[in-house]
Amino acid sequence: MDNKTQNLQRLRKEAGLSQSQLAKLAGLNVQVLQQYERGARDLNGAKLPTLLKICNTLECRLGDILTDGETLKLLKEYDRQ
């Protein structure tokens, strides 16, 4: 498990939410969230709006989950769209 998945799991637990609760509040499929937490699906491949939904629900910053470099890369990719 890498830092991103650990960060996501830690933030969810600190918020007192189950995976199902976070998924529902963020408008995500619970299986997708589970895959992110297990590392079966790479958070770097997630779309910015998806990550922002998670962050808004957890009341955290994108940088609390991703590294600064990963965040910058994601923002640059989103800007190109």
CA distance 24 to 13: 15
- For residue 23, the tally of other CB atoms under 10 A from its CB is 21
Residue 1 reports pLDDT greater than 80: no
Question: What digits encode the pLDDT tens for the residues 28-81?
Answer: 999 999 999 999 999 988 899 999 999 999 999 999 999 999 999 999 988 888
CATH superfamily of 3-80: lambda repressor-like DNA-binding domains (1.10.260.40)
Tell me what pLDDT residue 68 has.
92
Q: Encode the chain in three state secondary structure.
A: CCHHHHHHHHHHHHCCCCHHHHHHHHCCCHHHHHHHHHCCCCHHHCCHHHHHHHHHHHCCCHHHCCCHHHHHHHHHHHHHC
Question: Is the pTM value of this prediction over 0.75?
Answer: yes
> How do residues 15-29 score in pLDDT, each as one tens digit?
999 999 999 999 999
